[in-house]
Amino acid sequence: MSNRRCPRCHTNYAAPARFCPRDGTPLVEVAPPPDDGANTAKVRAVEKAAEPADPLYSSLTGQTLGENYLVDRRLGEGGMSYVYLGQEIASGQKVALKVLSPKLSRDPASVERLRREAAIAMRLSHPNVCPILGFGETPHPLIYLVMPYLPGEPLSDHEIRRGAMDIDDAIPLLVQMCRGLEHAHGLSIVHRDLKPENVMLVPDRAAPGGLRAVVMDFGLAKERRAEPEVVKLTQTGIVLGTPEFMSPEQIRGKPLDGRSDVYALGVLAFEMFTGRLPFAGKTPQEMMLARLKGEPTRLRAVRPDLPAKLEDVIVRALAVEPAQRQKSMNELGAAFASAVGPTGVFGRLFGRK
């Protein structure tokens, strides 16, 4: 059981809380309390209860999936799946294998959601988005997605390790995210769950700053022209996604388009530059209400060293009404790039003299 603390107000919270509801600051992991014997017993009891009934799901190392993929080691796990490093036997290519948890593998709706994730993401082909290479099932049943293996770290880990980012580091990454999401939107795919955990930073010498931003996990993605059965499957979309990054229309359960992702990227950009969220409140409900009223903290109130034009870009992206935001990811990316001036390093990076 992990404990998390707000570095600003020093209040402790239990996982899976990610942000302080008082001031919106990202929480950091803290050491567990001293072991008194009883505490160890409680932790072990929780861990035991959390273990899947079938050990196959939590220990696939050395096994073969679908006769095509050899499992190397586990990379991580979440509430819905385990992720393994694997190898395609025929080519020797490294892959990431996302295995649905045992409980969800037996749930037809969850299996259908994973199938939909695969069908959507197989259409993606862009250096700044992570596609799905394949979908598989075994007789157990064990259900998995095959993705390219991307060495690097999630943006969320980078933020915790490095803190608020300099403009020279953040703007190239934001522009790359815009390019990847514009590609998805061109295929009528809205991500709906943009957050730092869903952006991988991959070492790449050809990328500005040596890092390539790759938008991951289109598991909540939705096609704007969805078939009726898909609409029925995603009727619970109002409670899906990560609340801290949801657009006002997503909170209200309204129809979404690419401008909802524009809003989420505005929240993400604010966090990258400041290390906190743009909306404050004593409770999550107050933070949500602040978003519906359109009362974000001004960027330069936290980072007065940043350009006023950059603050204007983020303020517009966080507009309550979608029509008042940048109309596309291309427009948002261009706004980020131009907010830092037409000369200098960004002129070279983005083709301006």
**Which is the catalytic residue, given 193, 217, 257, 305?**
193
Specify the amino acid at residue 234.
T
Instruction: Count the residues in the chain.
Output: 353
Cα 316 from Cα 262, distance rounded (Å): 10
Among 206, 217, 267, 273, smallest CA distance to 240 is for: 217
Q: Would you call 193 a catalytic residue per the annotation?
A: yes
140: helix, strand or coil: coil
CA atoms within 13 A on the CB side of 95: 26
Contact present, 19 and 9 (Cβ < 8 Å): no
Beta strands of the chain (E only): which ranges? 3-5, 12-14, 28-30, 64-65, 69-77, 81-88, 94-100, 134-138, 142-148, 153-154, 189-190, 199-203, 211-215, 222-223
Distance of CA 6 to the CA centre of its chain: 21
Phi-psi region of 277 (alpha: psi -120 to 50; beta: other; left: phi over 0): beta
104: helix, strand or coil: helix
Contact present, 233 and 109 (Cβ < 8 Å): yes
Catalytic residues: 193
